């Protein structure tokens, strides 16, 4: 059966969000006399959600704080980020052009991310690519988060497709684990936020530019 559906990771795969996430993180770190962190440092911390981002930022700038303070910082960071979610963030090269091509091929598409669902939808809307991605399962959509396969299953259920029709596209080991748990082939992008060499993660295929995805999925007999 040919590939007729794609599940996308968001941060590091569809959109470069490091600038806005880094700005919000540095605001809350600055409040306690920490930081600032460079955007390159922040890139390696993205993927587990805002609370994890703040926790990693604290570890990198002097160590953890009390749990109640961490919760307050994460809440403020989330609010700041949501207010400035697309100030610096941009779709990666090839994304705005390729999504409509894939849709024209009859490919159904959705997003599976640990970013909160409302923030994910707001980001996609402000960047003008939301119409191609009607299904979004975020880190607060279910009681579980990536790489739990229930995340991928929820996207497939809403798209109305089976795992035999789908591939997952991401940028990290979390996405590989998610795909394997859900029984999906996985394509990784080389330009994302992975701390590990992409060719060491066991992906079925690797692409260096999003525009390569059109031809890449044609090679799958899923």
The answer to whether residue 148 is catalytic is: no
SS (H, E, C) 53-112: HHHHHHHHCCCCCCHHHHHHHHHHHHHHHHHCCCCCCEECCCHHHHHHHHHHCCCEEEEE
Mapping DSSP to helix (H, G, I), strand (E, B) and coil, where does residue 169 land?
Answer: strand
Query: CA–CA separation, 42 vs 10, rounded Å?
Result: 16
Q: Which residue has the tokens 């396969």?
A: 149
Query: Which residues make beta-bridge pairs with 44?
Result: none
Active-site annotation holder among 9, 11, 16, 175: 9
Q: What residues are labeled active site?
A: 9
């Amino acid at each position: 059966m040919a590939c007729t559906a794609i599940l996308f990771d968001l941060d590091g795969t569809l959109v470069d969000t490091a600038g806005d996430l880094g700005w919000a993180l540095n605001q809350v770190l600055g409040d306690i006399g920490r930081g600032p962190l460079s955007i390159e440092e922040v890139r390696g911390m993205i993927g587990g959600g805002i609370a994890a981002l703040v926790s990693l930022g604290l570890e990198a700038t002097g160590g953890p704080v009390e749990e109640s303070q961490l919760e307050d910082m994460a809440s403020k960071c989330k609010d700041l980020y949501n207010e400035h979610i697309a100030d610096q963030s941009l779709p990666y090269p090839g994304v705005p052009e390729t999504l409509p091509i894939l849709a024209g091929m009859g490919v159904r598409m959705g997003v599976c991310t640990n970013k909160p669902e409302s923030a994910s939808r707001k980001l996609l809307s402000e960047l003008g690519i939301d119409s191609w991605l009607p299904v979004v399962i975020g880190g607060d959509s279910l009681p579980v988060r990536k790489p739990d396969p229930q995340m991928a299953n929820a996207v497939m259920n809403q798209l109305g497709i089976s795992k035999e029709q789908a591939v997952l596209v991401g940028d990290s080991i979390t996405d590989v684990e998610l795909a394997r748990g859900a029984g999906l082939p996985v394509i990784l992008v080389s330009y994302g936020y992975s701390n590990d060499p992409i060719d060491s993660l066991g992906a079925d295929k690797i692409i260096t530019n999003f525009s390569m995805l059109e031809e890449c999925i044609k090679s799958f007999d899923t």
